[in-house]
Amino acid sequence: MIRVFIVGASSLARAGLQNLLVDCDLEVVASVSNLDALGGSFPDAEADALIIEASGENSESVLDSLAHSDLASEIPVVLLAGNRWPAESVRTDFGTASRDALRAGVRAVLPNNVAPSQLFAALQAVAAGLVVLHPSEIDARSPAAAPASQPLAELTEPLTRREREVLQMLASGLANKEIAVRLNISDHTAKFHVGSILGKLGAASRTEAVALGIRRGLVLL
């Protein structure tokens, strides 16, 4: 059973989401009103995913909080965007809200009226280390909607052996703390390696770094 932690400003929204998740045979371990209550890191409560119910009014502040914390590296984050989340942002190729969400480490961005079956499938995916895109984003990024991919230029600075190891672990969905344990290094060093990988590959997020790594043959599938 997938265990979920909920963050949402509205107690009514949190209660509704909790009931929906329970109906989907998911366990809700706890819920809080905002990310500040977490203090920038995830509590000891065991959970497989974090759902943030973000209305249009606070979506930007939510992304900013995630970008300035290690929370998204500790647990997969699913963002349920409110009705005021700009639809045009979803249709712009990695240029606006969706890119900001991925850069902040969010694994899935879905409308807050998503069907229970879709939410359940998304939670299963992010818990397995995958990234979930809403159908409107997939349509916008289809070959018919985007120009053909250009050949990748040579990297200005190649990845080191250790960075390639870390990139492979990112592809497996490991968080910074898990990478640190696997390599017997500090969390800070693991985070430094991830940042260096993103910089060398020109990636805006861990997910984009893995995608670019696959295209360059740096990641073994």
Report the alpha-carbon distance of residue 61 to residue 1 in Å, rounded: 31
Model pTM score:
0.57
181-214 pLDDT, tens digit per residue, is 999 999 999 999 999 999 999 888 888 888 788 7
Task: Indicate the range of 89-93, 99-103, 113-117, 196-200 predicted with least confidence.
Answer: 89-93
Q: How high does pLDDT run on average in the chain?
A: 75
Q: How many beta carbons lie within 10 A of that of residue 41, not counting itself?
A: 11
pLDDT of residue 140: 45
DSSP 3-state of 3: strand
Phi-psi domain of 148 (left: phi exceeds 0; alpha: psi -120 through 50; beta: other): beta
Q: What is the pLDDT of residue 60?
A: 65
